[in-house]
Amino acid sequence: MRESVVDGSELLRATFRRSAAGVAVITARVDGRLAGFTATSVASVAAEPPMLSFNIGARSSSWPVFARAEHVGVHILGEHQEDVAATFARSGADRFAEPTRWRPGPFDVPVLESVPAWVVCRVSARVPAGDHRVVLAEVLTGDPGGPGRPLLYHERSFTALRD
């Protein structure tokens, strides 16, 4: 067995680079201010009531909106949307400008177009977790029938499922 000594934050990052994760974009709107970011931390939490979670950095430019948002949109990106993932991951970008295609959805949450699946959720809790917050949210409505196969993130790059 190969033994390497890596501690703390680098160990966590190195370990999770080895795991493929689905790519999502999380969106919200508060007082007319739009916010969104790319996430690989979306997880199903419970079936009854239907709940999910995602993580957001407490120092991210999106956090002030998400700290106050009552509702959020969670969009599962397709393999055809690597550009969308990159836009919502880029610091300082106008994430909702062209060519991003979106519309106001339920509860005035921004809903991205052409995603394989999206849901709008009511925020239930924001739990401090180190330099991040874990957001727990109840799924209210959405559409799981969009086009494409899921976009994945692995070893610091976007990828897709193999046939």
| CATH classification number, 20-160, choose in 3.30.70.120, 2.30.110.10, 3.40.50.150, 3.40.30.10 | 2.30.110.10
The C-alpha atoms of residue 137 and residue 158 are separated, in whole angstroms, by: 26
98 Cβ contact list (under 8 Å, min separation 6): none
pTM of model > 0.95:
no
Q: 3-state DSSP call for residue 154?
A: strand
pLDDT at position 47 = 96
Domain range summary for the chain, segments of one domain joined by +: 20-160
* Average pLDDT score, the chain: 93
Q: Which residue has the higher pLDDT, 25 or 160?
A: 25
pLDDT per position as a tens digit, 66-118: 999 999 999 999 999 999 999 999 988 899 999 999 999 999 999 999 999 99
Tokens of 1: 């067995």
Confidence of residue 2 (pLDDT cuts 50, 70, 90): low
Q: How many residues does the chain have?
A: 163
